[in-house]
Amino acid sequence: MFSSPTRKEKQAVLAYVVVLAGVVASARAGLFPGSGEAFDGSLFDHPYRLSMAVAGGILAVALGVLAGWIGRRRENILLGIGVLAAGSLLTLFALSFNPYILYPGDQYPVSFGWLVAGAPLAGLTWLVAAGSSLRRSGRSSA
C-alpha cells in the first residue's frame, strides 16, 4: 500500500529536522537574546519570546507545507495527515528542550506556545497545501 519514500521526500524531511534541531540548539546555547530573563510585557516587548514566536511560526508553516506536499505527491491524504501528526509530535518534543519563556512569577515551555499557536497554523497550512490536490482530485473523478 505504501511505497518507500523518494529521495526528494527524504531530503525535505531531513531539511525540516535540521532546521528544528538548529532552533533548539541555538536556543539552548543562548544565541537568542533575552533567554532566561523574566520580563513583564507583551509578546513583542521581549526578544526571546518574539524570537520563539517567529521560529515557531516558521516551523509550523514549513511542517504544513511539507505534509501537504508529501500527501499531494503520493496522492494520499491520510499519508499527509500522518506526516503532519508525526511532525507535530517531533516538533513538540524538540521544542520542550528550549529554555522556558519566563514571566514574573510564572514560566512556560516553548512547546506549549507551539501547541497553542503553531500546531493550528501547521494544520491550516497543510489544508491549503493539500487543498489544491483535493480540489483537483474532486474534479477529475466527476
Q: What is the pLDDT of residues 76-121, one digit of tens each?
A: 999 999 999 999 999 999 999 999 988 777 888 999 999 999 999 9
Hey, what's the cell of 49?
519570546
Position 135 scores a pLDDT of: 58
Q: Cβ neighbours of residue 92 under 8 Å, at least 6 residues apart?
A: 111, 114, 115, 119
CA atoms 12, 16, 19, 25: torsion sign: negative
